[in-house]
A and B are shown apart, each in its own frame.
Chain A
Amino acid sequence: IAGITQAPTSQILAAGRRMTLRCTQDMRHNAMYWYRQDLGLGLRLIHYSNTAGTTGKGEVPDGYSVSRANTDDFPLTLASAVPSQTSVYFCASSDSAGGAGDEQFFGPGTRLTVL
C-alpha cells in the first residue's frame, strides 16, 4: 500500500514556465489538500478538495490551480511560475473533510525551485 505518492520528487523550473505537481492516493480518502512549507513558516494551505468534483481555496491560492476529477488524483498547477513559489509542496489526504479528529496523511513532498 503506497498511501500518497507525489511526483516529481524535485524540480528546477524557469520563471514563467507552467508546471503540474502530481498527487495520487490509494486510501479512498474523500478530502485532499495541497500545502507549501517554507523555512520559518508553518504549513500553509493552498487549495483543498472535500470530495471528488469540488475544490476550494486555502490561505495562499494565488498563482495556483487544482482539479479533482476523481477520488484518487489531485494535481496542482502553477500556470506561470515565479521565484516566490520556490518551496516544498506537500499533498495530504484525510478520510473526510470536517471530520474533527481525522488525521491528515502526507505525501513525501515535491521540492520546487523557480529560477
Chain B
Amino acid sequence: GQNIDQPTEMTATEGAIVQINCTYQTSGFNGLFWYQQHAGEAPTFLSYNVLDGLEEKGRFSSFLSRSKGYSYLLLKELQMKDSASYLCAVMDSNYQLIWGAGTKLIIKP
C-alpha cells in the first residue's frame, strides 16, 4: 500500500530551527510537496521537490532523497506565525497526491 509518515507533533522555540521529516512508500513518484495549514484554514503550498537535493525558499528549505524515500522541511528563524500543521504529500504514478496526516508544529516564546 501507499504510506506517508511524519511525526504527529513537534515543539520548537521562537527564533530556533526545526526539521520536520517525512518518509514515504508510494506506487511511483512524481514529486513531493509540502503544504502549511493553519488551524481552521485551508492548506497552502510551500515547496515542491522532484530531484534529489535541497530547495531553499527564504526561511523555508525542503530536501529530498528519492533512494531513501525521505524528505524534510527545514524552518529557520522560527516565528510565532509558523505555528501550524505541515503536510507532506507525494504525487504517485497516477499523478494523484497521497497525503501524510500532518505534523502539528507548536512554537513557544
Which of B42, B45, B101 sits near A42, CB closer than 8 Å?
B101
- The main secondary structure of chain A at its interface with chain B is loop
B48 — which chain A residues lie within 8 A by C-beta? 101, 103
B37-49 vs A: 1/0 string, CB under 8 Å? 0000111110010
Q: B43 to A42, Cβ gap below 8 A?
A: no
Is B99 on the interface with A (CB-CB < 8 A)?
yes
Within 8 A of A (CB), among B1-57: 4, 30-31, 33, 41-45, 48, 50
Interface flags for A44-64 (1: CB within 8 Å of B; 0: not) read: 110010000000001000000
Residues of A contacting B4 in the complex (Cβ-Cβ under 8 angstroms): 42
Q: How many residues of A contact B (CB 8 A)?
A: 21
A2 proximal to B (CB < 8 A): no
Q: Mark A81-114, 1 if CB is under 8 A from B, else 0.
A: 0000000001000000111110111111100000
B30, B95, B100: which has the most chain A beta carbons within 10 Å? B95
Across the interface, name the chain A residue whose C-beta is closest to B46.
Answer: A103
Instruction: Confirm or deny: A41 has a beta carbon within 8 angstroms of a beta carbon on chain B.
Output: yes
CB atoms of A97 and B87 under 8 A apart: no
Q: Is the CB of B96 within 8 A of A107?
A: no
Q: CB within 8 Å of B: which residues of A?
A: 40-45, 48, 58, 90, 97-101, 103-109
A-B contact pairs, 27 of them (CB 8 A): A40-B101, A41-B101, A42-B4, A42-B89, A42-B98, A42-B101, A42-B102, A43-B97, A45-B97, A90-B42, A90-B43, A98-B95, A99-B95, A100-B30, A100-B31, A100-B50, A100-B95, A101-B31, A101-B48, A103-B45, A104-B45, A105-B45, A106-B43, A107-B42, A108-B41, A108-B42, A109-B42
> Which residue numbers of B lie inside 8 Å of A, CB to CB?
4, 30-31, 33, 41-45, 48, 50, 87, 89, 91, 95-102
